[in-house]
Amino acid sequence: MKQLRTPIVAVLGHVDHGKTTLLDRIRRSNVTAREAGGITQHIGATEVPLTVIKDICREVWNANVVIPGLLFIDTPGHKAFTNLRKRGGALADLAILIIDINEGFKPQTEEALMILKTFKTPFIVAANKIDKVPGWKSQDGSPFMKSYSLQDDVVKQRLDNKIYELIGELYQRGFSADRFDRIRDFTRNIAIVPISAMTGEGIPELLLLLTGLAQRYLESNLRLHVEGKARGTVLEVKEEKGLGLTFDAILYDGTLHVGDRIVIGGIEGVIVTHVRGIFRPRPAKEMRLESRFKSVESVTAAAGIKVVAPDIENVLAGSEFETVEGDEDIKAFEDRIQKEYQEITIETDDEGVIIRTDTLGSLEALINEFRELGIPIKKAQVGDVTKKDVIEASANRDELNRVIIGFNVKLLPGIEEEAQKYGVRIFTDQIIYSLIDNFTQWREEEKRKREKQKIESLIMPGKIQLLKNYIFRRSKPAVIGVKVLGGELRKDVKLIKPDGTPVGFVRSMQKMGEYISVAKEGDEVAVAIDGVTVGRQIEGDEVLYVDLPERHARIIERELVDTLSEGTKMALKEFLEIKRKENRFWGK
């Protein structure tokens, strides 16, 4: 008889909608408070045995199940982690899509649905934070139906309205859904379970449904029997006191034994080693935070495990591992991993930022996010920031690309000094969306500064009316009152008539007795014009235009026209018409 493996359940949803808090409640731990920024950054694994599930569900338990329990994978919440969630989705047999019932659908909710749809992963919607519904009276740890029955009618109606909104949102996306107690066929309809991850309300029904779905409805579709070689995904490589170098992993198929020969994806190629020891966390404990482990001779999927093995210094977090027997197995694994890594990493001679991350998953995530934002990437690799990265970043022609992005990595000694010397900016963070936000905010600010400098260096369009009643001097220089009809007038600009005839240049300007360098639309100022005499070249009542250099006119017309006021646009249009009458190719 084949041995049943533990079904894997992925927990997906928008950031801050309560994924980790839900698992905290189930495992009675507090991972959220210890996570950087309170947000899970890597896939975590928690094995919850059937005995624990039965204990939580004791008031509603009516199932006859033989699965060993459930292995929860807590997937990151920010949309940049699409690929990690895709892996979680692909790896998962079932999923919980957690939605804040008060906020409803968010961008990452949409994304999670897309992933679940892509991988055809059966899922349940956990409508979280019912305790935040106005007027709700919380019943700690209670089944939802019991809590619901104790609420006032007006509160019940509020909750029902929110659930109907979720049903409508899911229907628009091609899913038939209803509140779990109103569903007869769970294979055709998505169950919505109202819960509070904080108070534990509704969690008994949620776990009961998950175990029931795995056992009664999905066994024919899920590969719930352990078969074939042991396969897993590496979460993290770290030094453990008394054990040496170890790696945490999710074993998702087969049975792994002490002494097995395994092959793992590494930074510089495939690593072949053997299992010296296998350790498991205590039941219902999040394995990344567990300090007490139990040594075992073998472990059957699915499970979160810690493996002791030699020569794993360069193992790549996020890579796969599997047991092998001969060279053919190793070669097949090597070919597959090499192809995957080549698809992820980027190294070109083109312009772009340098990306360094701690795992393959976060590398994939950042690459995808930066591509979506249209930010060029010169190189993207797993590992700490090196001096070579600084030199490569400094070789970019564009200063906006002389940047190194580091997610959850270290800066090797002397890097910051080196970066300063070469004019390279380094952005590092432990929270991926903060990292992206900080970088993009800096980039936008730099672009605005450049734009401002560019505009300030350009001669801008201007249209002025000479005021004949205010002629203060007729020549050397002519001093006359003018009104700015459109655009602006600056010191030192050349002026032309509507027929294109040159009319000297602006030596200086005064407004209310004070010298100024720029006169804006609507201003009336006294202008000293060199190279012209009133009564000869001009009469003193003409309309004149600022004579723009052709290069400046092209930039303004092609790049800045949408930022101009209506008066400036009109001044530019009339000026271009003057020039193009003289030369039909001017400014084209």
CA of residue 584 relative to chain centroid, distance: 49
> Which residues 6+ apart lie within 8 Å of 285 measured at CB?
27, 29, 46
With cut-offs at 50, 70 and 90, classify the pLDDT of residue 587: low
Residue 257 appears among annotated catalytic residues? no
CA of residue 347 relative to chain centroid, distance: 21
Query: What is the rounded distance in angstroms from the CA atom of residue 313 to the CA atom of residue 5?
Result: 30
CB-CB contact of 357 with 384 (8 Å)? no
CB-CB contact of 306 with 287 (8 Å)? yes
Number of domains making up the chain: 4
Residue 327 marked ligand-binding: no
CA of residue 96 relative to chain centroid, distance: 21
Which of 84-88, 389-393, 565-569 has the least mean pLDDT? Answer: 84-88
Q: Which residue has the higher pLDDT, 19 or 401?
A: 401
Residue-range definition of the domain harbouring residue 517: 462-582
Same domain for 17 and 79, yes or no, is yes
Averaged pLDDT for residues 516-540: 93
Same domain for 248 and 394, yes or no, is no
436-454 pLDDT tens trace: 989 999 999 999 888 888 7
Same domain for 36 and 124, yes or no, is yes
DSSP state of 461: P
Q: Which residue has the higher pLDDT, 368 or 53?
A: 53
Residue 587 inside a domain? The answer is no
Query: What is the rounded distance in angstroms from the CA atom of residue 426 to the CA atom of residue 418?
Result: 11
Residue 428 marked ligand-binding: no
> Which residues 6+ apart lie within 8 Å of 61 measured at CB?
54, 208
Residue 306 marked ligand-binding: no
Residue 523 inside a domain? The answer is yes
Query: What is the rounded distance in angstroms from the CA atom of residue 253 to the CA atom of residue 262?
Result: 14
**Tokens 């920010």 belong to residue:** 78
329: enclosing H helix or E strand:
helix 327-344
Residue 273 confidence (pLDDT) above 80: yes
Query: What is the rounded distance in angstroms from the CA atom of residue 340 to the CA atom of residue 90?
Result: 15
Residue 300 marked ligand-binding: no
Residue 225 inside a domain? The answer is no
Averaged pLDDT for residues 61-67: 83
Using DSSP's 3-state secondary structure scheme, residue 460 falls into coil
> Which residues 6+ apart lie within 8 Å of 456 measured at CB?
none
Query: What is the rounded distance in angstroms from the CA atom of residue 325 to the CA atom of residue 307?
Result: 19
Same domain for 474 and 452, yes or no, is no
Among 42, 78, 225, 257, the one annotated catalytic: 78
Residue 552 marked ligand-binding: no
pTM: 0.69
**Tokens 């002490």 belong to residue:** 258
Same domain for 94 and 48, yes or no, is yes
Same domain for 315 and 207, yes or no, is no
Q: Is residue 477 reached through a cis peptide bond, with omega within 30 degrees of 0 on the bond before it?
A: yes
CATH number at residue 358: 3.40.50.10050
Residue 77 marked ligand-binding: yes
Same domain for 310 and 377, yes or no, is no
Residue 222 inside a domain? The answer is no
Query: What is the rounded distance in angstroms from the CA atom of residue 259 to the CA atom of residue 244?
Result: 17
Same domain for 336 and 349, yes or no, is no
Residue 79 confidence (pLDDT): 57
With cut-offs at 50, 70 and 90, classify the pLDDT of residue 64: confident
Same domain for 141 and 17, yes or no, is yes
* Residue 476 CB-density burial (10 A; 0-12 exposed, 13-18 middle, 19+ buried): exposed
Which of 65-69, 269-273, 403-407, 427-431 has the least mean pLDDT? Answer: 65-69
CA angle 341, 342, 345 (to 5 degrees): 80
Residue 18 marked ligand-binding: yes
91-112 pLDDT tens trace: 788 899 999 999 999 877 887 8
Averaged pLDDT for residues 389-399: 94
192-216 pLDDT tens trace: 999 999 999 999 999 999 998 888 7
Residue 20 marked ligand-binding: yes
Residue 226 inside a domain? The answer is no
Tokens standing for 215?
């056992």
CA separation, residue 400 to residues 269, 376, 390, 510, 564 (Å):
33, 10, 14, 40, 26
Residue 15 marked ligand-binding: yes
CATH number at residue 531: 2.40.30.10
Query: What is the rounded distance in angstroms from the CA atom of residue 338 to the CA atom of residue 252?
Result: 21
CB-CB contact of 302 with 223 (8 Å)? no
* The 3-state secondary structure of 248-286, one letter per residue: EEEEEECEEECCCEEEEEECCEEEEEECCEEEEECCCCE
Which of 42-56, 428-442, 466-480 has the least mean pLDDT? Answer: 42-56
Averaged pLDDT for residues 341-354: 78
Residue 130 marked ligand-binding: yes
Q: Which of 435, 456, 477 is the last residue of a domain?
A: 456
Same domain for 213 and 176, yes or no, is yes
3-state helix, strand, coil in the chain (%, to 5): 35, 30, 35
In DSSP terms, which residues pair with 429 in a beta bridge?
A: 407
CA separation, residue 74 to residues 12, 23, 27, 97, 270 (Å):
7, 8, 12, 11, 27
Same domain for 160 and 21, yes or no, is yes
